[in-house]
Amino acid sequence: SAIIEMECVSFSYGTAADGAYALKDIDLSVEEGTFVGLIGPSGAGKSTLASAITGAIPHHYRGRLFGSTLVAGLDTCEASLTDIAKVAGSVLQDIDAQMVASVVEDELLFGLENFGIDHHEIEGRIASALDAVGIADLRHREIATLSGGQKQKVAIASILAMTPRVIVMDEPTSALDPASARDVFEVLRRANELTGMTVILIEQTVALLAEYCDRVVVIDQGRIALDGTPTDVFSHG
Ligand code: ADP
Ligand code: ADP
């Protein structure tokens, strides 16, 4: 069944009078367990779409958000960010802004404590999340000393530790070399296959989307321009 259900979502950062919509009449339904790539030109609305899914559209803009977005049945416009984060974890484009701790294990610990996870369960969650992304050896490292790809894996591990049903990532590979970018996709696909976690990922590299995604959604000028399998979408025109 659908884990994400967006109906007629429109949004403008400006006043309605200037007519510029960041999102316009978005209808999007995502089956649970799907690995979805979002692609489109800069300014197309990809980050805004991700924000609508994670409830991150700032409150002072909410009056300009129309339609409904349900994630695991939660209305992301009305639910608290904490409740949404329990079903949908997100990684921002600015990975350094995302990090709250200075040591890797504390980054995972912070989220788990914040969610009130029982302390008997915390150690197991940290160990298995670090293991799932292949960074058990980085556990005691200072985050500031890690590479961009390693930081992305720490962010992914922090989210996996919370066992959400969806992960939303905004261009995790934009600052990575091709090998590290592929590595991030591998980690996400493994988590997707093992846990059935739905992946929503903004990415510009067609080759990665073609190889890893079940579904590619092309956003252009706030609208869904194309939507289908990588083969459907990339053989178009
Ligand atoms: P990208 O295209 O990679 O998503 P942008 O450079 O468009 O990134 O945006 C970077 C940041 O600037 C984001 O936080 C976005 O919300 C903000 N931003 C983008 N466009 C505007 C704008 N016209 N006015 C104010 N902030 C903006
Ligand atoms: P993308 O992620 O595809 O680059 P965005 O969702 O960041 O696109 O931006 C969609 C549109 O909204 C763009 O026209 C951008 O300039 C504008 N925008 C984004 N963030 C802001 C912001 N904080 N304030 C005003 N305009 C913004």
What is the per-residue pLDDT across 139-172, written as a single tens digit (0 to 9) for each?
999 999 999 999 999 999 999 999 999 999 999 9
What is the per-residue pLDDT across 20-29, written as a single tens digit (0 to 9) for each?
899 999 999 9
What is the per-residue pLDDT across 57-99, written as a single tens digit (0 to 9) for each?
988 888 889 999 999 999 999 999 999 999 999 999 899 999 9
Question: Average of pLDDT values for 212-228?
Answer: 97
The rounded Å distance from CA 56 to ligand 1 centre is 14
pLDDT reported for residue 129 = 96
Question: Average of pLDDT values for 222-228?
Answer: 97
What's the predicted TM-score (pTM) here? Answer: 0.92
pLDDT reported for residue 224 = 98
pLDDT surpassing 70 at residue 116: yes
pLDDT surpassing 70 at residue 237: no
- CB of 40 closer than 6 angstroms to any ligand 2 atom: yes
Average pLDDT, the chain: 94
The rounded Å distance from CA 49 to ligand 1 centre is 13
Q: Which ligand is nearest to the CA of 218?
A: 2
pLDDT reported for residue 8 = 97
In the chain, pLDDT over 70 holds for what percent of residues?
97
Relative to the CA of 202, which ligand 2 atom is closest?
2
pLDDT reported for residue 18 = 62
Question: Average of pLDDT values for 175-199?
Answer: 95
pLDDT reported for residue 44 = 96
d(CA 209, CA 189): 11
The rounded Å distance from CA 61 to ligand 1 centre is 15
**Could you give the maximum distance between any two Cα atoms of the chain, in Å?**
55
Of 15-19, 94-98, 216-220, give the range with the top mean pLDDT.
Answer: 216-220
Q: Which residues line ligand 1 (CB under 6 A)?
A: 42-43, 47
Relative to the CA of 41, which ligand 2 atom is closest?
3
pLDDT reported for residue 17 = 61
pLDDT reported for residue 128 = 95
The rounded Å distance from CA 47 to ligand 1 centre is 9
Between 131 and 237, name the one with better pLDDT: 131
pLDDT surpassing 90 at residue 106: yes
Q: Which residues pair with 65 in a beta bridge?
A: 11
